Amino acid sequence: MSHHPEVPEIRSFVELFSQAAKDRNHQKLKTVYDNWSKVTEKYFKQSEWPTAKAMSSLADDPVFVMLYKEFYFRHLFSKLYSFVTLEQRFESWENYSNIFKHFLESPSPLPLPNVWIWDMIDEFIYQFQDYCHYRYIAKIKSKSEEEIDQIKEHTNVWKLETVLIYLNSLVKNGSKDGAHDVLKMLGYFSTCLLYTSDAADDLLCV
């Protein structure tokens, strides 16, 4: 069972996270990332974090919400994989789309620390590969008609071409003169993962 967001330590973490996102403060964001695993280990080792909706009473800044959701889904896939639903896979895809649009379109993108950027791109590719596997299993094993219909209706979700568009856009925009530092690192890490043999194999899973 998930802990309530009103637990003082959880509340403090979320408030720091939200303020760091609003302030675009690199050092505070680094502290948030360092503390996330500690709070997770203490309170959410075997349960999910509260949803972004449950946290809305504490923070509802759009940039905070999409980054919090990235934490939320990453934790689900890492610690509670057997409970991840098809709908959550769809929601995570939508959230990554919003994150990349922010970094590609915002004149002042959030200055995330490098380790956060790397882990986020790595998780994006992992969830893409996982969805490919999930979709393949759905074809050869018995699934409910409703679930199969949902997969067929969401053909643009975790689509190889779109995944490559995002990664290549990050590489292209990150290499431009005057690119923001965080965009440079997003582009650099995307290049590393695109040209790593294991990642390349994952991207050819469909």
User: For each successive 10 residues of the chain (206 residues), what is the average pLDDT?
Assistant: 72 94 94 96 93 85 94 97 95 98 93 97 95 82 78 92 94 94 96 71 53
Confidence (pTM): 0.90
At residue 176, what are phi and psi to the nearest 5 degrees?
A: -75, 150
- Residue 160's H or E segment, with its range, is helix 160-174
- Residue 16's H or E segment, with its range, is helix 8-23
pLDDT number for residue 170: 96
pLDDT number for residue 5: 66
Task: Catalogue the E-assigned strands of the chain.
Answer: none
Longest dimension (CA), the chain: 52
